[in-house]
A and B are shown apart, each in its own frame.
Chain A
Amino acid sequence: MSQSHTHTHPHAPFSFTPANRKLAEEIIARYPQGREASAVLPLLDLAQRQCGNWLPQTAIEHVAEVLDLAPIRVLEVASFYTMFNRKPVGRAFVQLCRTTPCWLRGSEELVATYKRITDCGPRATTPDGVFTLLEVECLGACSNAPVVQINDDFYEDLTAESFAEVLEAFKRGEKPKAGSQIGRVSSEPLGRDGE
């Protein structure tokens, strides 16, 4: 897909909600005068949150307008950072780590589990609009591998079974408890005897 195709939700004019507009102004005020353009990253994040975890073209243009930037400058930033989604994603945006430690600890099983439960592959959204899967490289939680990030939260120490439970919960519209799924605190050793 060409980089220049910005996907616009039909009939989706965008502007910040009054609360977000206020927040945006607070964010802009953190930067020195004349450097307001530096607020482009937090403002894009704000816009992405308001849009349901993706950035339609209208949101990019609105951020450009708020910061008095050319739309192309904002699009450059939005397209550079992989954490901005420029296509709509599901309610649960699943980023599954497949780098070596997670892979050694069974990330391939998690992919298979995801496929079994959602009947959908990576980089696609399920027809019910619940899940989108993105296979990613290291999320930085290797000691609690395998790990999956869903929206803002890490789900760690997963097995095929516990991952299935997490996904089922999202399917029901619930938000399961984030963090280690085996009750581990932070990344303490698994066995108390230094197993």
Chain B
Amino acid sequence: MPKLTIDGIAIEVPAGVTVLQACELAGKEIPRFCYHERLSIAGNCRMCLVEMEKSPKPIASCAMPVAEGMAIKTDSPMVKKARHGIVEFLLINHPLDCPICDQGGECDLQDQAMAYGAGLSRYNESKRAVEEKYMGPLVKTEMTRCIHCTRCVRFVTEVAGVEGLGLLGRGEHAEITTYLEQALDSELSGNVIDLCPVGALTAKPYAFVARPWELARTESVDVLDAVGAAICVDARDNEVVRILPRLNEAVNEEWLGDKSRFAVDGLKRQRLDRPYLRGADGRLAAVSWSDAFAAIAKRIKGVKGERIAAIIGDMADAEAMVALKDVMAKLDAPHIDCRQDGAAIDPSLRAGYLFNSTIAGLETADAVLLVASNPRAEAPLVMSRLRKAWLTLDAKLAAIGPVPPGNLPVESLGAGAKTLKDVADGKHPFAKVLSAAKRPALILGQGALRRSDVAAVLGTARRAADSLGLIRDGWNGFNMLHTAAARVGALDLGLVPESGARDLAGILEGASGGALDVVFLLGADEIDMAKLGRAFVVYLGHHGDAGATRADVVLPGAAYTEKNATYVNTEGRVQFARRAVHPPGDAREDWTILRALSDALGRSIDMSSLGDARRRLVAVNPIFDRAGAIVPAPWGDFGTEGKLDPAPFVTAIPDYYLTDPIGRASPTMAECSRIFVHHRASRTGTDG
């Protein structure tokens, strides 16, 4: 390990690190614009100049590897002068429009000009101006502010994996743009906004909304997919104005998918803010909580438990789910299913429904087989890990079923379950690739599970995992990729029908056939509402979507930014969402509604505080006591050998932007869906 001195401090650093990293290890702050830990080194902003002994000129520390015996100075007059010069140069063409710039208050250039600049400019000539570039409905550009650090170009190419952005021209005429000003077609495009050290790329939906110092910041987790990315919810007054990613190396690093970042405007629209009751005229009318509960109690009175059912939606929190479980138990109602998409996952073995390699672990996989999964739409952050595995380990990638679009080389092996069987039997050439790999992995998408032959598909996938060595010491490469934030928590709580009870299909059949009288929907909006027949439907949720439209009683709940709630991500990691704002109007946290409902039904559940609810979670499954941790699940047998349906696999998510009631209520997501999914003209003509 090379030894060097930094400002007179002797330090030993790992070989191969750069001078900038060594300075950071020595506790010295080096200003920078183009350097970013997770991107390749560009060395073009020159802000990180330091003095190196025996070098006549200052060196760019971000691009200089350390060598034995180096003597670096980071606070010498030469360094100070160099920084003054760089800031002065950068500001030559940078407009001084901070008062009308959305980056103001959280701008690297602003901060570093203050900290390291000379405070004066000698430049009296004209500044250059650059035309705005269209980059789609999410990224707003003000290219005159650009300092050409190329972080955005490197991110989009290296991490997001789309060759969308480039630096055209040279010198004074250099400009960042997408090819022919097409929209930036990536599910991770919003991250360029965070990466931009100036106000050149800002959030289009957030333009001129708020200043960073006006915002109250709440650390939470995302629930719009099953990854459970760490987020910061920024609120002003009682309104969530933006969502940013928060560092969690194990899950999302520092990135966030566009849906999770930009669906935030859906939190203000189509909200259920009062209880509603369907009157004699067939219309929903606002009523008080007590009237709503009384109506439910009246309808349920005398109804046998076996004529009552519950379906759980994709964004339900664990507290509400365990409360619903207890209410159903008090009603002796056995029919409960958390799989509103009909994906008949076998909940008996935890390892059988988890992303066992972990999300961070996926980037160490050297052969990956995607089965009916398109992570780009189902979990963009998993896709970026897959891309890393390919970039760093040259991982062999193959898909059965749909191939994820993009520039990742994924070999298509076949369309349906028969190919999976061939792989499991070792007949397919890719079986050899998997068994020869050090860390082989299989990603099973929900698309493979929304079929009649689920047990056989699961059994075949399990057999493939066993026969091809996906399970070995310290490594479990069997990964189920969920799309619903609620799903793993619900499976952990056992919210599937006991034998003999009705599953989703059975509930819908019973409701339409008149065998069920009452159906509770806990945020379930993706089912075929027409099949609920004449059943009395109680909808508990936060958006006026399909469920509320069909419901006879609507109970307004809280969205994930409005409650302290527990979620379990696709890896089985227990995480907490925290309340950033209060629910609108009369809406309440979901578990408290269920508790109040149980009182109204005369069958109170034992839950009077959030602590009670969480203790109840731990009592049902001790995993809920291990927040944040990955508890390796023991491997075992699941699934069956059976007849496989020859139908090809389909992906679970046809439209990344519109998967849930929040996204469907969001104008931004509607615009994204229109442009990116429906491939309409990329220029809207409405952006000026």
Contact = CB atoms under 8 A, between A and B. Distances in A.
Interface in A1-36: 2-4, 6
Given A71-B179, A72-B178, A75-B179, A3 B163 contact: no
B181 A4 contact: yes
A22 to B, nearest CB: 28
Contacts of A70: 163, 179, 407
A73 interface: yes
A75 B163 CA distance: 12
Interface of A: 2-4, 6, 57, 69-73, 75-76, 79-80
Given A79-B168, A80-B169, A80-B170, A4 B163 contact: no
Contact of B131 (A2, A6, A72): A2
Contact of A4 (B164, B168, B170, B407): B168
Interface string B284-320: 0000000000000000000000000000000000000
Contacts of A71: 179
Contact of B169 (A69, A72, A73, A79): A79
CB-based closest 6 A-B pairs: A70-B163, A72-B166, A3-B168, A72-B179, A79-B168, A3-B169
Contacts of B169: 3, 79-80
Nearest to B167: A76
A79 B170 CA distance: 8
Contact of B175 (A4, A69, A72, A73): A4
Given A70-B163, A76-B167, A4 B173 contact: no
A3 B163 CA distance: 18
Contacts of B152: none
A81 B175 CA distance: 14
Contacts of B170: 79-80
Nearest to A61: B179
B361 to A, nearest CB: 29
B180 interface: yes
Contact of B166 (A2, A6, A57, A75): A75
Contacts of B569: none
Nearest to B165: A72
Contacts of A6: 180
B177 interface: yes
A3 B173 contact: yes
Given A70-B163, A72-B179, 4 more contacts: A3-B174, A70-B407, A71-B179, A73-B166
A116 B631 CA distance: 84
B177 A3 contact: yes
Which of B131, B178, B180 neighbours the largest number of chain A CB atoms within 10 Å of its CB? B180
Nearest to A57: B180
A72 B181 CA distance: 10
Contact of B163 (A2, A73, A79): A73
Nearest to A1: B131
B462 interface: no
Contacts of B163: 69-70, 72-73
A72 B179 CA distance: 5
A82 to B, nearest CB: 8
B133 interface: yes
A64 to B, nearest CB: 9
A70 to B, nearest CB: 3
A79 B176 CA distance: 12
Contacts of A75: 166, 168, 179
13 contacts: A2-B131, A2-B175, A3-B168, A3-B174, A4-B131, A4-B168, A6-B180, A57-B180, A69-B163, A72-B163, A72-B166, A76-B166, A79-B170
Contacts of B130: 2
Contacts of B167: 76
A75 B181 CA distance: 12
Contacts of B165: 72
A73 B133 CA distance: 17
Nearest to B171: A80
Interface in B174-190: 174-175, 177-181
A2 B174 CA distance: 10
Contacts of B173: 3
By CB atoms of chain B within 10 A, which of A4, A69, A75 has the most?
A4
Contacts of A80: 168-170
Contacts of A69: 163
Give the most central of B133, B168, B178: most A CB within 10 Å: B168
A71 B407 CA distance: 13
A37 to B, nearest CB: 12
Nearest to B131: A2
B688 to A, nearest CB: 15
A75 B167 CA distance: 9
A79 B181 CA distance: 15
Given A3-B175, A4-B177, A80-B169, A72 B133 contact: no
A69 B157 CA distance: 12
Interface in B134-170: 163-170
Nearest to B175: A3
A75 B168 CA distance: 7
A3 B179 CA distance: 11
A3 B170 CA distance: 10
Interface in B570-620: none
A2 B178 CA distance: 13
Contacts of B164: 72
A152 B407 CA distance: 39
Nearest to A2: B131
A87 B435 CA distance: 55
